[in-house]
Structure 1
């Protein structure tokens, strides 16, 4: 039982650390554990405990989100100073890698594109280029940054888009790879209007 208890303690500590708990009052933790397991009166009720835990993790999450937002804002501010970068009123930035001469799609059109998406640290989260298969989708069916950019591009163009989080997935993020409030970079090649 001693080894099992110790192993459980290690496991709980590892889970807490992964969840963002950097420090803990071990004596208070042990009292809470002891009182709950023994079924004795706890120092706080279950509802209060839930609120304390939720408030703590909300604060941890907000700190992470603020860091994501600041990193994105700092990146875009520096990026805007580079030659060839166009910054729109919306905050969307783009760089023309190749200017096509075909038609420009409108919001109601479907388009065929090749794209390569990364976080600002270079981590690839999605790439039709790597899959070797272009994607077809409605212009108005993608994130706002893409909707804006696609309607400015001529077929045959290839642009690098720098998309602020509010024009990407904002506070929701997307799956495990795109945290909330994350600025994104895409290389987008507009192949056709379909």
Structure 2
């Protein structure tokens, strides 16, 4: 059983980055289910697929974050619905479902990203 009360660790991926969104449940929750229009309260860790470098983590800030799914990158809009509170899910998000192609103006443009997301609440 994985401890969802502590910051996750992401193992270095093998092989080339996937071209489509990869969704993997690490822990299946048993609470309310996130819907496409939900506002979610999550803890998350994000790393660069190629380097494994962490670029963002709510764990490092010491507090979860709450936001509407509609305001997030496509990979999260598609990867979080169906997840239940208490669950931990890994998303591997290709650039076209994250921050777009290289040169797109965002520091993470052109990068495949890995997120581990703990769903704490849904409204």
Partners of 2:71 and 2:37 in 1: how far apart? 9
- Aligned-pair RMSD on alpha carbons? 1.7
Partners of 2:120 and 2:17 in 1: how far apart? 29
Question: How far is the alpha carbon of 1:94 from its aligned partner?
Answer: 2.0
1:142 equivalent to 2:76? Answer no
1:76 equivalent to 2:18? Answer yes
Asked if structure 1 preserves the Cα contact closer than 8 Å seen for 2:26 and 2:88, the reply is yes
Question: Which runs of structure 2 are paired with 1:37-186 in the superposition (5 Å)?
Answer: 74-76=16-18, 91-120=20-49, 121-171=51-101, 172=104, 174-175=106-107, 178=108, 180-186=109-115
Partners of 1:102 and 1:173 in 2: how far apart? 38
Asked if structure 2 preserves the Cα contact closer than 8 Å seen for 1:111 and 1:136, the reply is yes
Query: Which structure: larger Rg?
Result: 1
Asked if structure 2 preserves the Cα contact closer than 8 Å seen for 1:107 and 1:138, the reply is no
Give ranges in structure 2 of 5+ residues lacking alignment.
Answer: 1-14
- Relative distance call for 1:189 and 1:173 in structure 2 (3 A) is farther
Question: How far is the alpha carbon of 1:104 from its aligned partner?
Answer: 1.6
SS of the residue corresponding to residue 111 of structure 2 reads coil
**Of the two structures, which has the highest relative contact order with CA contacts closer than 8 Å and spacing of 6 or more?**
2
Asked if structure 1 preserves the Cα contact closer than 8 Å seen for 2:17 and 2:94, the reply is no
Q: In the alignment, which residue of structure 2 is the partner of 1:189?
A: 118
Partners of 2:62 and 2:70 in 1: how far apart? 24
- Relative distance call for 1:150 and 1:122 in structure 2 (3 A) is same
Name the TM-score, length of structure 1 as normaliser: 0.51
Question: How far is the alpha carbon of 1:132 from its aligned partner?
Answer: 1.0
Partners of 2:106 and 2:42 in 1: how far apart? 20
Asked if structure 2 preserves the Cα contact closer than 8 Å seen for 1:173 and 1:181, the reply is no
